[in-house]
Amino acid sequence: MVYHSSFVDVEGISKACGCPLLPLKSHIKGPAPTSNQDRIDIVDEAITFFRANVFFRNFDLKSPADKLLIYLTFYINVALKRLEGCRTLAEGTKAIINLGLEKVPVPGESGFPFPGLFVLPQSEQEAELFRNYLKQVREETSGRLLSVAYRSNGTPNKWWLAFAKRKFMNIIVP
């Protein structure tokens, strides 16, 4: 059984493209509201549930936050694919920084991995808000992923990097 997000009550949280802009425990500037450091956020959930959820080809949505969980699971898969050949934490950090510099597509643009899952933006401002939120959540996920994909001595953690070979929802990672 697939793991779902615990953020089922998204009342009062702003949305873009049908996706809630959930709070993050982040120091990175962006449109996401700030969450308490002692609370679990969507990035924590995505990393915690990744190794179980990556095995599923179908993902039924229980709440709008599951859309973001699906997106982050796919992004973690992409990031692990980039980290696969990196033998040190320094190499991995460089690969993740390069991934962060890539353009973030939004629904309706080519390269967006889940057409139909998210609502098309109604305006250019909504598209830019969603792009900035995805960029912020991707950067935060990347930073936290490095701490689990590499051990404290800078060597790769094979129990994480082995999951780079998995295809989430039958989507081939570029």
Task: Give the span between the Cα atoms of 74 and 105, in whole angstroms.
Answer: 14
* Torsion on CA atoms 8, 12, 14, 17, rounded to nearest 10: 50
123 domain-assigned: yes
Q: Which domain holds residue 36?
A: 15-170
Please state the pTM of the whole predicted model: 0.90
SS3 for 125? helix
Residue 171: the pLDDT is 60
Structure tokens at 114: 């889940």
Q: What is the mean pLDDT of each run of 10 residues along the chain (174 residues)?
A: 74 87 89 86 91 79 88 91 91 91 88 86 94 94 93 90 71 56
Domain count, the chain: 1
**Identity of the residue numbered 21:** L
Inter-helix orientation angle 124-149/65-83, to 10°: 50
8 domain-assigned: no
Task: Give the span between the Cα atoms of 155 and 152, in whole angstroms.
Answer: 8
